[in-house]
Each structure stands twice: as C-alpha cells, then as structure tokens.
C-alpha cells in the first residue's frame, strides 16, 4: 500500500503524480517488480510525512502502474489508472513499506429501470455542470454521456467534480453503483446551485461596473456576495461583538456599541463613513470600563514611600496620609480633590507619582498649560473630520484602568477664547457629584470618573477660577530652606545626576560646603530644579 496526499484516485481515472517518500518508493519498486498493481489510499492530513495506519483512509483504489520515470533527484514520476475500490482489512509493515489485505466488492453491471433513470438524471445534471463550470471541457461531458456502465459513469463524474478531499473520499467509499448514482445526483444539484448563484452575482456586478470605476465594482461585488450568502467578513464582526460583550460596558453604552456595529456591517468597507464608525468602536473598546488596579490600602506603606521619595514637607505628607486614611475608611469616597500649589521645582508632580506608587494605582499626567479650547477636555463631535476624544478619555485609555491617579498639571495656566472655556469643562470632571456621568463629545456616552484619584498642581491660585477652587483642597508647598536643599541634593539630586552622567561617587564627591556654594552663588529659587541642573553641569 502507498499513502497519497491531496488527491483521491477513482477507478477508471488516469492520474500522474510524483513519489518521493522512501517507504513509497520501496512500495512502488516492489509493485513494478511484481504485477504492476498497487493499492493507493489518501491520508487524512497531507502535512504528515510518515502517516500511521490510523491516519490513512481505509477505503482506497487498486491501480495499475501505466508508466514510471525515475527523476534525477531520486523521486519517481508515475502514471496510474484506477481499477477498482478496496477496503483495508489488515495492515502489516514489511521491508520498509505497508502491506494490506483488502476486501473488494464487485457488483453486477446489469441495468434496471431504476438504474437507467438514475443514469439519465446524473447525465443531464453533469451536462449542466460542465456548461456552468469553465474549468471542464466538452470532451469530458461527451465521454461521460456515452457511458452505459453506471459504475464507470459515476466514478468518471466524481473524478471531475471540484469537491474537497473529504467529499471525494465519501463518494469513493460508496461501493454500490446504484447508491452512488443517487449520491452523485444530489452532489451535482448542490454544485449547480452554487455555480448559478455565482453566475448571478457576477452578472449583477458586471452591470454595476459599467456605471462605475473598478474600485466601486469591487465594493459592489462584496455587497452582492453579502446579499446572497447572508453576511461578509463575519469573523471580524463576530470578533467585535465578542469584544463589546466582554468590555463590561453599562447597558446604555453596550446598546449604542451594538447599534454602531450593525451600521458598520451595512456600510461598504472602503467608504469614509465605515472608517469613522470603526474608529468610534475602537475607542469605545479601548477605554477601560471595568478593569481597575487593585488598590493597596496601607498607610504605613504610603508613609514609607513618601519619605523615601521626598525630604521634608512634613505637614504636606501628614495631610496626604490623612486624606488617604479617609479614603481607606470610606468604601466609595466622594471627597475633595487635592491641589498642590507652590513654586516650580518643589516636588508637586513627584508627590503625585509617589501617591500612585503608594496606593498601587496607575499614574497618568495631563498638562493644562496653554490649553484654551474646551474640546481639549471634552473632545470633538464625530461630525468633524479627524475628530478625537478629549484628553481626559485619551489619558484614561493610556492608564488602562478606571481608577488611576490622574494629575492635572499647571491648572493655573489655562485660558479661554472664542472656542470656549476649558476650566468650565473641568468643573464636571472634578465635581464628585457629576463626574460619575462625564460625557465626552466624541464618545457621546456617559463615562464614570468617580473612581479616579484626581490631583491638580498650580504655581499660583489667583488665576484659577473660583468655581474650580471650590472643588479642590489646596495644599501649599512653600520653598525649601537652604539646609533642606542641601539634604535633598545629598539624598536625591547628586545620585540622579551621577547616574545620568555615567559616573559613580568614586569619580566625584560633593561636600556640604560645595552644595551650599552652588545654592548661594548659582541658584536663586524656591525649589531645587536649577540646583539639579547646576549639579549636572559640574
């Protein structure tokens, strides 16, 4: 026996193929040396090089080796002719190839009215099939029409049908010619219906192509196929639907997403509206609806982190710890938003990062310096070309969780113009009574910001609108004393600059006097930003 790949050999069928496997070459050589007959059976998986007996179909064809030619690479090209079916009873392996015992079922070829009717039906259907199928020639049809043997007729037609390996194997396994006639007729009915449907689609699209360009033709063909077959790109839309179901959206948002998905399915894939709709769905799915960081509620840990990252600021640290303690006691706190006010370089931004580190939350920062357009906060409506969500939603996407520490930096640097007042848009964001239903103009659905830990920073208070000040608890960070600056430089700044310069404390040392000299002679600031720069220059 010789297993073959990607082809089913039928009786009366002439087939050329190349034999390359060592075991197959041995089996072929043995057959050539004997009676030039060999049993061919198709293997289930064509990718397997050495199939086992249970990986080969049990019904195959006994063939006669008509011609063989040894190729220079050691392979053998053969031409075989199918003789009759055989079913494997027993398989044994000897001399490097498989040997089998077969059951061969031979049926009488006498015809009766039922067989004659079946042959007439199959012949007529095959004529229709050949006329519709462009890959078959009329000589094949004429040869089949003239056949009087039902077994030969069915096998010839089966060999010429464009079917899958599994479907052809199913026909091969039917030994009774009468039963095979019935099955071939049913298969031809289905294949003719498919070909007619394809022809209908092609003719419809061809008419449309006469009125449009090639790209339009391709789009309309896709629409026509979708109309005939039910739906197209099913897997992509199913994947989007699964993502919508798994996103954890509120019911109203989920309903809107499903409605948008239905609109997207009905649109031509290459249209501008389709791109806008797909981008909208991508944003809805990218925003975190249920994922949240596991919050660490440990005041001792928070105190340790604040002390490690910042020197001094004892009153500020105590107030932050009190604030965190209240949030720990209240399950769903709706308190004030912290606002750090102080000159540049005193550690306002780094305090926010330390709070995120201490509580185990993600940290995102949005700079409000120079923002003068309300759309920066709320986003643009989808009717505008190139519309996007506002920075609030974009930062939430970046955080990936619905409870990050969200720093609104330089809140005192906002301004207003004819496009609106961004500080008014921030009121809804920072108000605990409203931010659980924040509406971005682009998404146009309610988004819950109540679990976000907002922290604002500013240099001065007088430029912040009173309504915004009313929603924040102000913590003032005054400038550092000279001694505090020396300690900060020794504990933090020198180490950081040495690391950035690729040096160690063995290469250079800063004494207290040298740091004091830098502070007095080269910097004049409340914070330590210029001091860090001067240390880097040294």
What is the CATH classification number for the domain harbouring 520? 1.10.8.60
Domain extent at residue 533: 482-537
CB 440 within 8 A of CB 389: yes
As given in the structure block, the two tokens for residue 501 are 């310069």
The CATH number for 95's domain is 2.30.130.40
CB 459 within 8 A of CB 340: no
In the structure, what pLDDT confidence band is assigned to residue 457 with cuts at 50, 70 and 90? very high
pLDDT at 496 over 60: yes
Q: Which residue has the higher pLDDT, 317 or 505?
A: 317
Residues 455 and 440 in one domain: yes
Residues 312 and 445 in one domain: yes
Q: Establish how many alpha carbons lie within 13 A of residue 385's alpha carbon, considering only the half-sphere containing its beta carbon.
A: 1
% of the chain residues with pLDDT over 70:
87
Residues 256 and 309 in one domain: no
In angstroms, the CA 311 to CA 307 distance is: 6
Return the DSSP state at 116: H
Residues 6+ apart with CB under 8 A from 417: 372, 373
pLDDT at 99 over 80: yes
Which of the given ranges, 123-127, 204-208, 233-237, 529-533, has the highest pLDDT on average? 123-127
* pLDDT value, residue 82: 92
pLDDT tens readout for residues 165-207: 999 999 999 988 888 899 999 999 999 998 889 888 888 877 7
Classify the phi-psi angles of 312: left when phi > 0, otherwise alpha if psi is within -120 to 50, otherwise beta. left
Angle separating helix axes 299-309 and 348-359, nearest 10 degrees = 150
In the structure, what pLDDT confidence band is assigned to residue 223 with cuts at 50, 70 and 90? low
CB 486 within 8 A of CB 514: no
Say how many domains are in the chain: 5
pLDDT tens readout for residues 242-296: 888 888 899 999 999 999 988 888 787 777 888 888 899 999 999 999 998 887 7
Strands 76-94 and 14-19: antiparallel
In angstroms, the CA 62 to CA 39 distance is: 4
Domain end among 476, 506, 521: 476
pLDDT at 303 over 70: yes
Extended strands (E) in 71-127: 76-94, 97-103
The 453-458 sheet, strands edge to edge: 363-367, 405-409, 453-458, 337-341, 472-476
Residue 534's nearest CA partner among 313, 381, 345 is 345
- Neighbour count for residue 252 (Cβ, 10 Å): 10
Domain end among 61, 77, 103: 103
In angstroms, the CA 418 to CA 398 distance is: 30
Residues 303 and 397 in one domain: yes
pLDDT tens readout for residues 422-448: 888 888 888 888 888 899 999 999 999
pLDDT at 328 over 90: no
What does the longest C-alpha to C-alpha distance in the chain come to? 118
- Tell me the β-bridge partners of 62: 39, 84
Q: Is residue 260 in some structural domain?
A: yes
Q: Which residue has the higher pLDDT, 429 or 136?
A: 429
Interior angle at CA 454, CA 452 and CA 254, nearest 5 = 30
Residues 17 and 86 in one domain: yes
Residues 81 and 188 in one domain: no
pLDDT at 401 over 90: yes
Q: Is residue 117 in some structural domain?
A: yes
Q: Is residue 349 in some structural domain?
A: yes
Residue 446's nearest CA partner among 287, 278, 331 is 287
Q: How many secondary structure helices (H) and strands (E) does the chain include?
A: 21, 13
**How buried is 138 (Cβ within 10 angstroms: 0-12 exposed, 13-18 middle, 19+ buried)?**
exposed
pLDDT at 162 over 60: yes
Residues 358 and 423 in one domain: yes
In angstroms, the CA 281 to CA 523 distance is: 52
Q: Is residue 90 in some structural domain?
A: yes
The CATH number for 462's domain is 3.40.50.300
**Average pLDDT for residues 47-63, to the nearest whole number?**
90
pLDDT at 320 over 80: no
Residues 331 and 459 in one domain: yes
The CATH number for 164's domain is 1.20.58.1480
Q: Is residue 413 in some structural domain?
A: yes
Residues 10 and 75 in one domain: yes
Residues 463 and 530 in one domain: no
Domain end among 103, 134, 162: 103
Residues 449 and 492 in one domain: no
- Neighbour count for residue 191 (Cβ, 10 Å): 19
Question: Lowest-pLDDT range, 29-43, 248-262, 323-337, 463-477?
Answer: 323-337
Residues 468 and 500 in one domain: no
pLDDT tens readout for residues 105-131: 777 666 788 888 888 898 889 888 888
pTM for the full model? 0.51
Which of the given ranges, 13-22, 138-147, 526-535, has the highest pLDDT on average? 13-22
Q: Is residue 293 in some structural domain?
A: no
Strands 405-409 and 453-458: parallel
pLDDT at 458 over 80: yes
DSSP letter string, 355-413: HHHHHT--EEEEE-TT---THHHH---TTSTT----HHHHHHHHH-SSS-EEEEETGGG
**Average pLDDT for residues 347-351, to the nearest whole number?**
83
Q: Is residue 219 in some structural domain?
A: no
pLDDT at 208 over 80: no
Q: What is the mean pLDDT of the chain?
A: 83
* pLDDT value, residue 355: 85
Q: Is residue 472 in some structural domain?
A: yes
């Amino acid at each position: 026996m010789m297993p073959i790949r990607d082809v089913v050999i039928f009786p009366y069928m002439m087939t050329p193929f190349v034999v390359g496997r060592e075991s197959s070459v041995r089996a072929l050589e043995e057959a050539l040396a004997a009676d030039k007959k060999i049993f061919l059976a198709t293997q289930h998986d064509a990718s397997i090089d050495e199939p086992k007996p249970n990986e080969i179909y049990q019904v195959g064809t006994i063939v006669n080796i008509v011609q063989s030619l040894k190729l220079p690479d050691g392979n053998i090209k053969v031409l075989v002719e199918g003789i009759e079916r055989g079913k494997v009873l027993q398989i044994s392996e000897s001399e490097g190839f498989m040997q089998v015992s077969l059951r061969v079922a031979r049926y009488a070829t006498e015809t009766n009215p039922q067989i004659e009717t079946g042959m007439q039906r199959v012949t007529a259907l095959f004529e229709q099939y050949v006329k519709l199928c462009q890959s078959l020639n009329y000589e094949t049809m004429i040869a089949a029409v003239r056949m009087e043997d039902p077994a030969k007729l069915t096998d010839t037609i089966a060999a010429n049908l464009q079917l899958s390996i599994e479907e052809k194997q199913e026909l091969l396994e039917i030994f009774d010619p009468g039963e095979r006639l019935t099955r071939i007729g049913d298969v031809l009915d289905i294949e003719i219906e498919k070909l007619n449907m394809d022809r209908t689609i092609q003719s419809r699209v061809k008419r449309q192509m006469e009125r449009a360009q090639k790209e339009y033709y391709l789009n309309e063909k896709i629409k026509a196929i979708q109309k005939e077959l039910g739906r197209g790109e099913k897997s992509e839309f199913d994947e989007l639907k699964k993502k919508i179901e798994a996103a954890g959206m509120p019911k109203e948002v989920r309903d809107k997403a499903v409605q948008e998905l239905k609109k997207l399915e009905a649109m031509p894939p290459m249209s501008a509206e389709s791109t806008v709709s797909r981008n909208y769905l991508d944003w809805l799915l990218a925003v975190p609806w249920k994922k949240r960081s596991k919050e660490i509620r440990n005041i001792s840990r928070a105190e340790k982190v604040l002390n490690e990252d910042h020197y001094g600021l004892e009153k500020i640290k105590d107030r932050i710890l009190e604030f965190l303690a209240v949030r720990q006691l209240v399950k769903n706190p709706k308190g004030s938003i912290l606002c750090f006010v102080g000159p540049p370089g005193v550690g306002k931004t780094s305090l926010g990062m330390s709070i995120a580190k201490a509580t185990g939350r993600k940290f995102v920062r949005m700079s409000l310096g120079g923002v003068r357009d309300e759309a920066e906060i709320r986003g643009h409506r989808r009717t505008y070309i190139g519309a996007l969500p506002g920075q609030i939603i974009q930062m939430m996407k970046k955080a990936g969780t619905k409870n990050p520490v969200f720093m609104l930096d330089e809140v005192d640097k906002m301004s207003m113009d004819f496009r609106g007042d961004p500080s008014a848009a921030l009121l809804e964001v920072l108000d605990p009574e409203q931010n659980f239903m924040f509406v971005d103009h682009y998404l146009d659905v309610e988004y819950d910001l109540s679990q976000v830990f907002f922290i604002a920073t500013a240099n001065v208070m007088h430029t912040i609108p009173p309504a915004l000040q009313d929603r924040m608890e102000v913590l003032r960070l005054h400038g550092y004393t000279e001694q505090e600056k020396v300690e900060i430089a020794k504990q933090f700044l020198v180490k950081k600059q040495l690391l950035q310069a690729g040096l160690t404390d063995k290469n250079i040392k800063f004494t207290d006097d040298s740091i004091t000299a830098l502070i007095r002679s080269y910097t004049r600031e409340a914070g330590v930003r210029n001091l860090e720069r001067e240390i880097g220059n040294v």
